[in-house]
Structure 1
Amino acid sequence: MPPSVPAPSRRIPVEPLTPAAFSPFGTVIENPVRTGSQQPGGGLETVRANQGTALKYLDVTHMTNFYHTAASRKPAKAVMNMFVCSPRKLRQSSGSGGHRVFDVSILERHPFTSQTFIPMGQAATDRSTQYLVIVAPTLPATAGGHGQKRPPPYPAPEPRRRRSIRDIFSRARPSPFDNQAAPPSPAATKGSGQPAPVPPPKGPGMPDLSSARAFIAHGNQAVTYGAGTWHAPMCVLGADDIDFVVVQFANGVGIEDCQEVELEAAGASEGLTVPVGEGDAPGIAMQAKL
């Protein structure tokens, strides 16, 4: 059973899903020209492909695998699954106005892998069915002390040994590939054609519920959660199911593949909720199931 943390009584305002707003948590994958999130020639690098009939955007998201740092040291493999997500049931709020809300009762994270959700068969202009992306920053490992009952997700780093004279002078040897004296830096410069720097995983702390955020996404948008990012299970709103292809790494060790925390509201508190009723979140489908 997952550990639980106290949830504050807080309504998370809904924001449009944009690459800039979501960048602390991962990546938004979309056609930047059609959505207006990027002007042609800016940001993502592009090349012409397929005899000039296609425009290829390079490195649109980061697929990361940090399982080599996991306690089990069990290697992971790339997996591709499909989730058929049904519309969530909403609760009629007891507060002022009686709006409908989605109760956030659980968060999860994948500490050693990114996770990409790609919706299928959903038109960009279809507002009858949409989905919520709910995320939270990670607290420092000691904050709150609520995670002590669960196994540590990240192993303690091994002590670094002092480098020998041989190690030091080995870096002076020319690279067999480009004749440089030292290996090239992993950090890529914009427009170099190399992959962008890989963002590190989030720390081992619990979710910062006071800073949780909610984004409304449409059928022409996919999302990648960065490794270790706390997020709610997929929340579909509206009339129909959404089929998601989900791409990530996994090694079959439960505590290393996925970790969950339950959010418990105190007393008569509503806990953590997302208002999706009329007047609270314009543009969200109003026919979400009750």
Structure 2
Amino acid sequence: MPTSMPAPSIRIPIELLTPTAFAQFGAVVENPATAPASKLPIRHRIPPPEAVSANQGSATKYLDVTHMSNLYSLAPSKKPAKAVMNMFVCSPRNLRPHEPSISMPSSWGDLDLDEDEDGTGSYQKQLLDVAILERHPFTTQTFIPMGLAQHDRHTQYLVIVAPTLPASASRRHTGRPPPYPTPHVQRKRSVMDIFARARPSPYTNETVPAQSPFSRLHPSARPKGPGLPDLKNLRAFVATGAQAVTYGAGTWHAPMIVIGDRPIDFVVVQFANGVDNEDCQKVLLEPDASASEGVVVTVDTDSSGTVQVKAGVGSVKAKL
């Protein structure tokens, strides 16, 4: 049975999925020449991956567009993992009608725009209840949509993520130790390490700090610790069919959420060792005694069914 945590009444606006906005949670895989972020001001972009010519000059090859991390050496069982590739066929989610609610503001905006900017006066305002979050503490996880056009207006998917709270804050939320302890990494010190920490250093006039074994990993791919999700900083992004997404190891996220007319097939690439609590950890979000509804994402669509971006860079007028 998954652990649970009390959830405040909070409504989350939807943002445009861009590599810059998503960087602390993982990576966005997209063609940098045609991606939504290519239309944003330069200050809101990150440098594109290195590109080389391929296939006798008929293709452009972008290098290292995402990275896979295998941290199962930290898992309690020490059981080795292997790379796996699965398929998820995700059906559209049922949304509930919009209704006013007293909720605390999201850290990323709590906008409720009443004007209809699609010119037809037919904005549809609906709500998505977020009842569960999960994470894969020792592996990245890449979702690659299939058969969904970049400009498909009638079917899109949402990427909902949250940072990890410090372990001490998790104890305050639940009154008990963190539910999913991550073992402390004890690195054996070599003779070089011992001398490097000496004062003064025998090699230079300065001390040389020991380098973390994870320092070369992208920050989103490093171990996150045993903490619960930070619900006040939960974020929701809308993706197009031309975007794949990689969750960093240990990133709290909602199961993939499809909005629209039809299912989306996702090929999912990750590592796994077959130990349930090491491959996937879940937490149920239960509204606390003073909350009227818990964690909710506001989903506004125009007359064509396109999800509207209401917060962050490219908000309101972003065209996906």
Provide the TM-score with structure 2 as the length reference.
0.74
Equivalent residues of 2:179, 2:226 under 8 A apart: no
Q: Which residue of 2 aligns with 1:254?
A: 276
In structure 2, the gaps of 5 or more residues are: 102-113, 115-123, 197-212, 309-320
- How has the CA–CA distance of structure 1 residues 201 and 156 changed in structure 2, closer, same or farther, with 3 Å as cutoff? closer
**TM-superposed deviation, 1:111:** 0.2
Q: Which residue of 2 aligns with 1:172?
A: none
Equivalent residues of 2:5, 2:284 under 8 A apart: yes
Give the partner amino acid of 1:270. E
- How has the CA–CA distance of structure 1 residues 144 and 165 changed in structure 2, closer, same or farther, with 3 Å as cutoff? closer
Q: Which residue of 1 aligns with 2:17?
A: 17
1:143 match: secondary structure? helix
Deviating more after overlay: 97-106 vs 258-267 = 97-106
Matched, 1:202 2:224: yes
Equivalent position to 1:154, from 160, 166, 182: 182
Equivalent residues of 1:111, 1:153 under 8 A apart: no
Q: Deviation string for 1:170-205 (max 9, x for gaps)?
A: xxxxxxxxxxxxxxx9988xxxxxx97884122211
Equivalent residues of 1:154, 1:204 under 8 A apart: yes
1:20 match: secondary structure? helix
Aligned residues: 260
Equivalent residues of 1:120, 1:243 under 8 A apart: yes
- How has the CA–CA distance of structure 1 residues 72 and 148 changed in structure 2, closer, same or farther, with 3 Å as cutoff? farther
**Share of identical aligned residues, percent?**
59
Equivalent residues of 1:250, 1:257 under 8 A apart: yes
**TM-superposed deviation, 1:213:** 0.3
CA RMSD in angstroms comes to 2.9
Matched, 1:132 2:132: no
Give me the whole-angstrom Cα distance separating, in 2, the residues matched to 1:259 and 1:186. Answer: 22
Give the partner amino acid of 1:88. R
Give the partner amino acid of 1:254. D
Give the partner amino acid of 1:283. T
After the TM superposition, which residues 118-197 of structure 1 pair with which residues of structure 2 at under 5 Å, given as runs?
A: 118-145=144-171, 146=174, 148=176, 152-158=180-186, 160-164=187-191
Q: Which residue of 2 aligns with 1:30?
A: 30
In structure 1, the gaps of 5 or more residues are: 170-184, 189-194, 286-290
Give me the whole-angstrom Cα distance separating, in 2, the residues matched to 1:73 and 1:186. Answer: 18
Equivalent residues of 1:64, 1:198 under 8 A apart: no
- How has the CA–CA distance of structure 1 residues 276 and 141 changed in structure 2, closer, same or farther, with 3 Å as cutoff? same
Equivalent residues of 1:147, 1:206 under 8 A apart: no
Give me the whole-angstrom Cα distance separating, in 1, the residues matched to 2:53 and 2:185. Answer: 44
